[in-house]
Amino acid sequence: MIEAGSFWRMFEWVGLTYLLVLNFAYFVLDLVSFAVLRRHRQRQTLSVLHNRYSNLELPVSLIIPAFNEEATVAATVRSLLQLNYARFEIVVVNDGSNDRTLDVLKTAFGLEPFPEVIRRQLQTKAIRGVYRSPSHPELKVIDKENGGKADALNAGINTAQYPLFCALDADGVLRPDSLQHVTKAFLDNPHTVATGGIIRVANGCDVVNGWIVRTALPKRPLPLLQVVEYCRAFLFGRLGWNPVNGVLVISGAFGVFHKETVIEVGGYRHSTIGEDMELVLRLHRVLSREGRPYSITFAPEPICWTEAPERLSVLRSQRIRWQRGLCESLWLNRELLFSRRGGWAGWVSFPFTFLFECLSPVVECLGLVYFIGGYLLGHVDVEIALAFLLVSVGFGTLLSASSLLLDETSYHTYPRPRQIVVLLIAAIVENLGYRQLTAYWRLIGLVQWTVGARQTWGEMKRTGSWTSELSTPPSPTTVARP
């Protein structure tokens, strides 16, 4: 029989060890990301020289699921029409919007009904109509009954005519060369089935006609903290898995996929919250099980900006949803875990994600309550409580700062010294409350998923307030390159 005191001592050490291992694992990912970025930049040398191959890019269908996006959808489509890419089409899928999304598109682009025969390879809700624009032949709008984002994406895949498709959020802001960067993996490696890129926070940036013309930091604290968080999540949370084909997440905000392979594995799953992660995990699971050579990679260039939540309530529901999506995706693809042919994805990335991303809110929240509460009640030694806080906050701050260093080494996104100072302060502040708060929300997500609570979609009403329109669109060459 273990004494109560011994049990709690053991609990304390398990908690501390978990945090140490977690931070060490992230530190290793961080180092790998530095190496990946260095090698990536070296390989870029040839791209700089061989511009002439830029017209050999594979054609891409950009699929934009739109649900109540009347505020931003027209500006997004306008900016996409100016993308610097050889051959692409834009497929906007109006997923039964209650607002004027379809009317806005009809008016802005002079859409006319088109008798399209749809190649129904993936099951979707009924299509009400297809529209094309005589002035923009590369634009197609699908109007369908509401079925959710996954359903809209599947409808887009059914109508896409090119071998690659790019899933893009309706409020996503790209660079003129974003597609070139992200599709390069398909040119370099014929076995590539999916690639994603770094998503940045657009709040605070100057966006004109759907283009970022000046990168700046958000003025409000909540999106500012998310800038650091996104840096950490994308720059080493994902890039670090690149060399071993272990990337498990490609953001739904911007990801490019090989269409036929996605159709083969069944497209996006309707019943999941995290349809983007679930699809990538399923690709890993199915392709590795079949022993097919494949590659899922991550392009380190900052290629897409998106609006981050500015209100706590919206952020809360977003994080709960993300955590539920994560749990659900891992559970649905648990067959990948330690599967014989699972490779790094099955043997390392999957258990890593389960242990350190799925379960971490439990340890972080319980640990925080236990150590602070225990210390206040006199049950926990001050040394242990301090050690817990130090590992949790100190390492977190260090990792956040190193992700800023990664960004500076590679893409120099924020050019002014003052911005770097602000971000370094944010990297500290982020660990003093914000991270703990998001851990709590993630814990709620985990609990909700475990008890099977009904899925509810937190709605983030896009205001489009950070975008503006000029009568004359800026030339893509004048658009700021971060």
Partner 1 sequence: MTLQHILLIGVLLTALYLAVVLQLFIVRFTNSVKARRRERIEREWLPLLAADADVSDAPLPELRHRDIVPFLTLWNQLQESFVGDIKTHLNAVGRRVGIKGISHRLLEGGRLSERLIAVSTLGHLGDRDSWDALVRMTSHEDGLLSLAAARALTRIDDAAALPVILPLAASRDDWSRNYVLGMLSDVGADIVSGPLTEAALMLPPDTAHRLVQYFTVAHVGDAVPVVRTIIGRTRNVECLAACLRAFADVDHLDTVRDYLQHPAWQVRVQAVNVLGRLGSTDDVKAILPLLSDPEWWVRYRAAKTLCALPDVELSMLRSLSTQHDDAFARDMLVHVLAEARA
Rank residues 24 and 53 by Cβ distance to partner 1 and give the closer one: 53
Q: How far is the CB of 252 from partner 1 (least distance, A)?
A: 27
Residue 365, C-beta contacts closer than 8 angstroms, at least 6 positions apart: 436, 439, 440, 443
Q: How far is CA 13 from the centre of its chain?
A: 34
Site for partner 1 in 92-131 (CB under 8 A): 114-117, 119
Calculated CA dihedral for residues 407, 408, 413, 419, nearest 10 degrees: 110
In the bound state with partner 1, the residue whose beta carbon lies nearer, of 339 and 400, is 400
Q: How far is the CB of 189 from partner 1 (least distance, A)?
A: 6
Task: Kindly tell me which residue out of 190, 291, 378, 452 binds partner 1, with binding defined by CB under 8 A.
Answer: 190
Nearest approach in angstroms of CB 101 to partner 1 is 23
- Pair of tokens at residue 134: 């005589």
- Site size toward partner 1 (CB under 8 A) is 51
In 3D space, the residue among 298, 270, 296 whose CA is nearest the CA of residue 285 turns out to be 296
Can you name the residues that pair with 211 across neighbouring β-strands?
208
Helix (H) or strand (E) holding 81: helix 73-81
Dihedral sign for Cα 170, 168, 54, 141, please. negative
Q: Cα dihedral sign for 443, 449, 452, 455?
A: positive
- From candidates 37, 68, 70, 132, binder to partner 1 by CB under 8 A: 132
CA distance 438 to 424: 20
Could you tell me which stretch among 96-104, 296-304, 400-408, 446-454 binds partner 1 (CB under 8 A)?
Answer: 400-408
Residue placing its CB nearer to partner 1 in the complex, 340 or 416: 416
Contact between 104 and 76 (Cβ < 8 Å): no
Q: Using CB under 8 A, pick the residue from 134, 221, 351, 433 that binds partner 1.
A: 134
Which part of the chain contacts partner 1 (CB under 8 A), choosing from 51-59, 70-78, 147-155, 318-326? 51-59
Q: Is the dihedral of CA 352, 261, 233, 58 positive or negative?
A: positive
Answer yes or no whether residue 478 interacts with partner 1 by CB under 8 A.
no
**Residue type at 154 in one-letter notation:** N
In the set 25, 32, 58, 362, which binds partner 1 (CB under 8 A)? 58
Applying CB under 8 A, which of residues 243, 394, 458, 474 lies at the interface with partner 1? Answer: 394
The C-alpha angle with vertex 207 and arms to 317 and 72, in degrees rounded to 5, equals: 55
Contact residue for partner 1 among 191, 220, 334, 341 (CB under 8 A): 191
Instruction: Note the residues at the interface with partner 1 (CB under 8 A).
Output: 39, 41-46, 48-53, 56-58, 114-117, 119, 132, 134, 137, 187-191, 293, 382-384, 386-387, 390-391, 394-395, 397-398, 401-402, 404-405, 408-409, 412, 417, 420, 424
